[in-house]
Amino acid sequence: MIQSMTGFGKATLVASNKKITAEIKSLNSKQMDLSVKVPLLYRELELELRNTIARELGRGKVDVYVTCESIDNANASQLNVEMLRSYKAQVENVSRELNLPEPQDWYTTLLRMPDVFKQDLNEEVAQEELDGVREVVRQALQATVSFRKQEGEKLYHFFKDKIQAIQLLLNEIEQHETTRTEKIKSRLIEQLEQLENVDYDKNRLEQELIFYIEKLDITEEKIRLQNHLNYFIETLDGPERQGKKLGFISQEMGREINTTGSKSNHAEMQRIVVEMKDNLEQIKEQVLNVL
């Protein structure tokens, strides 16, 4: 089953008299764009956590926040006012220079900045606490993957419906092909007959008509489009992390649909092609969210 790149996960646990929270947000991206923010005391775990998260999530714009607060108020961390003042001044400078609005909620903005709580850097972090950070990130990752799978299931059924719609439209083209050829032939002959004092070789006309109609034949396009539809469904039902492949297949489907439209020379078939394009554009838009 496919997975979406959109996900969210949060977990909290207590270790060494501290409440540790991990929050993960994931959106679609062509590559892995990972941001990990952890308290200074746990900075030694950052590379390990980044590797674990990247391996588990694969791709997407991922933001990870790990926070820690003491349960014992006597040992509770204190705000680093100087650090907060510095951050606020920097944001205000950027706002003026780039002509951007200042944050509406300064507390939320500033408290997300690194190292805004005073830390005793000489404090030795207990192994239980480090293991707690690893565990809470693991739990948040599980929740994020579960969220991605739920969203992926919705996308799966969406793609199935859209591919089925294109399949029905492709089948509908069949009933118009015979009448299309006859109409094209009749229209050309009628236009010739309207010309006065023009003599033409009927055998040569027949040959030219055959040649012209062969150029408008869409048999190969229909066969290739059918193959692409089948391959898209096969890929949907295959292993995970097929988003890029689905994107490539949808591009190939678009080429065949466009060629069919340019060759159709028939009002009803052109209407069908427009409906195919509409369904395909919806597929392309949502494929961008597939892992």
pLDDT tens for each residue of 29-71: 999 999 999 988 888 899 999 999 999 999 999 999 998 887 7
Q: Which of 77, 76, 74, 53 is nearest to 65 (CA)?
A: 53
- Both 95 and 215 in one domain: the answer is no
Final residue of a structural domain among 151, 179, 196: 151
The answer to whether residue 2 sits within a structural domain is no
Final residue of a structural domain among 118, 151, 184: 151
DSSP, collapsed to helix, strand or coil, labels residue 113 as coil
- Residue 61 structural domain: 7-151
Exposure on the CB side of residue 288, measured as CA atoms within 13 A: 10
Final residue of a structural domain among 103, 132, 151: 151
User: Into how many domains does the chain fold?
Assistant: 2
- Both 53 and 72 in one domain: the answer is yes
The answer to whether residue 80 sits within a structural domain is yes
pLDDT at 169: 93
pLDDT at 49: 94
pLDDT at 43: 86
pLDDT at 144: 96
pLDDT at 138: 95
CA 208 to chain centre: 48
Residue ranges in the chain modelled with pLDDT below 50: 74, 121-122
pLDDT at 156: 95
- Both 92 and 170 in one domain: the answer is no
Q: Name the β-bridge partners of 174.
A: none
Helix (H) or strand (E) holding 280: helix 267-287
- Both 79 and 204 in one domain: the answer is no
